[in-house]
Chains A and B, each alone.
Chain A
Amino acid sequence: MSGLRRRDFLKLGAAGAASALGVPARGGAQANEVVMLGLWSFTGAFADVGPILDRGMRMALEERGMKAQGKPIKYVTRDDETKAGSATRRAEEAVDGEAVKYIIGPWSSGVALAVSEVAKRKKVLHYFSGGTEDISGARCHRYSFQWAASPYTAAKTVVDTFMKANPRAKRWHLLVADYAFGWSVEKYVKEVGKTHGIEFVGADRHPLGEREFSNYVTKAAGNKPDVVAMVNFGLDTVTAAREIFNFGLTPKIPLILTWSSGVEELVQLSPEMRENMWVGSNFYYTADTPVAKEFVKNYQAKFGNPPGYAPAAAYGMTRMVLHGMDRARSTDHVDVIKALEGIEVEDLVGKMRVDAKTHQTLRPYFFMRCKKKDAMQHPTDFADIVATGSTPLPPEYSACKDIGSL
């Protein structure tokens, strides 16, 4: 017995010693290597998307043979645990220890804001895709870029298109996640709504991570709305949509997911639950661009199912960085930042341009309508794209007044 314990202990100790020595104090990157970090959630609230984000970024790099401007690319990943503290320290660790010059991610807005501070402090390029306005707004700086459409672009696309299809649906009930992302999209939905004469009969804010939505659903039903529109994300969206169906609101009245991850959320719902659901997203896999078609084809061949917003964003952001390197004819991240400012490319979602003043990527946003169960041709045939919109945030709304210097 004691022999067994002793051996286990020695093994533990040996592994410990080996691993402690394996984490050197100074970077192990070779001089001509380009080191890129994928900072994804493998544990915590967004644990479900980490692995597919990783896939997207990897695909973009592998398409280039893991090379940029003739130099080998080293791709490293870290688990941000969907926590600001862990993300900060792991990002710092990777920048110091692995000589990372490019950070892509993370997925959560709150966590990304913390990482954006690291990028600013450590002076490395950071590309992010998500709902917070602050990266290209109030907390903008020269090192961080935003890939996702502005919440204004999203709200405008969703409300305009929906009202065109349902001009008489004027009574809206909003269900909003209670944090910065929810508030900013809510603000724009209400503003665009005014131009259509929409009456907001109710607007409830729910805590992030709420799991008991019955209370919000009965409240929404009590307001007798023509439409329920949600501004939340991920598991909150899925759990709420499920309850809205369970209580019989959908499919009788339409449900709008204003800012959805598309496939990742839709696949968690039964086809019955998706009927009469309208979905706004930064990507949908039937997007009609050459890059998207190629990406979707390869992704499906490799993983069996279509990519949603998450892998597409990781793929798209990595491509933008690579475009930046092409334009700069350099892999020096400061050159790449300069090259990305004002760059214009035909890429994953269509015409994409990076606004030099705010580092916002100007690009189309998608609006889909879910299919009925019997209209679906295969299990992942969730929806049709109804419209795309790319109205940028009016400059007077932008909170990024001075993006600063390098």
Chain B
Amino acid sequence: MNPSLLFSQILNGIVTGMLYALMGIGLSIITGILNIPNFAHGALFALGAYLIYTVIQALGNFWLALAVAPLGVALLGLLIEYAGIRPLYRAGHDYQLLLTFGLSLIITEGIIVVWGPIGMSQLPPALLRGGVDLGITIYPKYRLFVMAMAGLLVLGAWLFLEKTRYGAIMRAGIEDKEMVSLLGIDIHRLFTAAFGLGAYLAGISGALTAPIRGLNPLMGVDMLGIAFVVVALGGLGNLPGAIVAGLMIGVAQSLVALVWPEASVAVIFAVMAAVLLVRPQGLFGIR
């Protein structure tokens, strides 16, 4: 097989894998800390893409928009947690699921009402258009940027969780919520912050994806399924697990596209089923 093709294919897999990982980490934080299934995660992803588009239209600056748009999604996340999810912590997963699914319908349909049902394109910023010669192949600059940016975000999330006081509280929240509240920490504030952070990561994944896949109201649906697979594979609240799982799916998808393209979507779920058969707790899950 042509080595440059193989190389580009793996690169493709890494770029999409990093985006999957970002989505997965956001969902993993929400799921791990709040212990709720967030079916609105895909809709938040789509909202991130639409917000960056609108901010770019308004301000004409990609970088500013990339900073602002995910914050808008995070803000909505805070609101959702405060008004919707907080009354439901004791209500059981079924009602939490019903609520988040209802919210995802509302957000998706809201996007159609506000931005219209027809998809749109967003060009990468001028600086990142075109390709760069990597010696072995020519690769689009913007995709390399996404890879680096996603890497930085993952690193940032890791540093935040491992090295800061807030991060330590969050990790403790994943392990043992009662202990955290016994220590006098306001568990509700922790929950709100965690949902906001998860929503932020979904929003920025959407914003980064916009120039690659464009925008359409249903863009979050596929991503939701993938995010769930990443979490199931990587283990709840497990950051390195989410990264490995995201990359694994991304690369598996692109390699399968090389030899058996018809199965490139099914492979995501096949990988998951195979791993869970061997390790039901996920790659790195302990619980």
Residues of A within 8 A of B (CB): 45, 47-51, 178, 204-207, 209-212, 214-216, 218-219, 221-222, 235, 238-239, 242-243, 246-248, 264, 267-270, 272-273
Contact A210 B214 (CB under 8 A): no
Residues of A within 8 A of B262 (CB): 178, 205-207
Known: A246-B143, A247-B140. A215 touches B2 (CB 8 A): no
**Minimal Cβ-Cβ distance residue in B for A234:** B119
**Minimal Cβ-Cβ distance residue in A for B105:** A43
Question: Which of B123, B138, B212, B257 touches A270 (beta carbons < 8 Å)?
Answer: B123
Question: Which of B9, B213, B222 touches A242 (beta carbons < 8 Å)?
Answer: B213
User: How far is B112's CA from A276's CA once the two chains are assembled, in angstroms?
Assistant: 31
Residues of A within 8 A of B212 (CB): 214, 242-243, 246
User: How far is B97's CA from A224's CA once the two chains are assembled, in angstroms?
Assistant: 48
Q: 17 additional contacts, CB 8 Å, given A215-B257, A219-B261?
A: A48-B118, A50-B117, A178-B262, A206-B261, A207-B264, A207-B265, A209-B222, A212-B213, A214-B212, A214-B254, A215-B13, A219-B5, A219-B9, A222-B4, A222-B5, A238-B119, A246-B142
Residues of A within 8 A of B4 (CB): 222
Contact B143 A214 (CB under 8 A): yes
Residues of A within 8 A of B130 (CB): 248
User: How far is B264's CA from A216's CA once the two chains are assembled, in angstroms?
Assistant: 10
Interface pairs A-B: 7 shortest CB-CB: A215-B257, A48-B117, A222-B5, A218-B8, A214-B12, A215-B254, A268-B119
**Minimal Cβ-Cβ distance residue in A for B219:** A211
How many Å from the CB of B107 to the closest CB on chain A? 14
Question: Which of B119, B138, B140, B265 touches A235 (beta carbons < 8 Å)?
Answer: B119
User: How far is B217's CA from A45's CA once the two chains are assembled, in angstroms?
Assistant: 10
Total count of chain B residues near the partner, CB < 8 A: 43
How many Å from the CB of B122 to the closest CB on chain A? 8
User: How far is B143's CA from A269's CA once the two chains are assembled, in angstroms?
Assistant: 18
User: How far is B257's CA from A205's CA once the two chains are assembled, in angstroms?
Assistant: 9
Residues of B within 8 A of A238 (CB): 119, 121, 214
Residues of A within 8 A of B2 (CB): 222
Contact B5 A214 (CB under 8 A): no
Question: With an 8 A cutoff between CB atoms, is B68 at the interface?
Answer: no
Known: A214-B12, A239-B213, A248-B130. A48 touches B119 (CB 8 A): yes
Known: A212-B16, A215-B254, A242-B213. A204 touches B118 (CB 8 A): no
User: How far is B258's CA from A219's CA once the two chains are assembled, in angstroms?
Assistant: 7
**Minimal Cβ-Cβ distance residue in A for B223:** A211
How many Å from the CB of B113 to the closest CB on chain A? 12
Contact B112 A47 (CB under 8 A): yes
Residues of B within 8 A of A239 (CB): 213-214
**Minimal Cβ-Cβ distance residue in B for A41:** B117
User: How far is B9's CA from A260's CA once the two chains are assembled, in angstroms?
Assistant: 28
How many Å from the CB of A126 to the closest CB on chain B? 25
User: How far is B12's CA from A243's CA once the two chains are assembled, in angstroms?
Assistant: 12
Question: With an 8 A cutoff between CB atoms, is B104 at the interface?
Answer: no
How many Å from the CB of B125 to the closest CB on chain A? 13
How many Å from the CB of A376 to the closest CB on chain B? 15
Residues of A within 8 A of B261 (CB): 178, 204-207, 215-216, 219
How many Å from the CB of A23 to the closest CB on chain B? 23
Residues of B within 8 A of A243 (CB): 212
User: How far is B261's CA from A219's CA once the two chains are assembled, in angstroms?
Assistant: 10
A-B contact pairs, 29 of them (CB 8 A): A48-B119, A178-B262, A204-B257, A206-B261, A206-B262, A206-B264, A207-B262, A207-B263, A207-B264, A209-B265, A212-B16, A218-B8, A218-B12, A218-B137, A219-B258, A219-B261, A222-B8, A235-B119, A242-B212, A243-B212, A246-B124, A246-B140, A246-B143, A247-B131, A248-B131, A248-B138, A268-B120, A268-B214, A269-B121
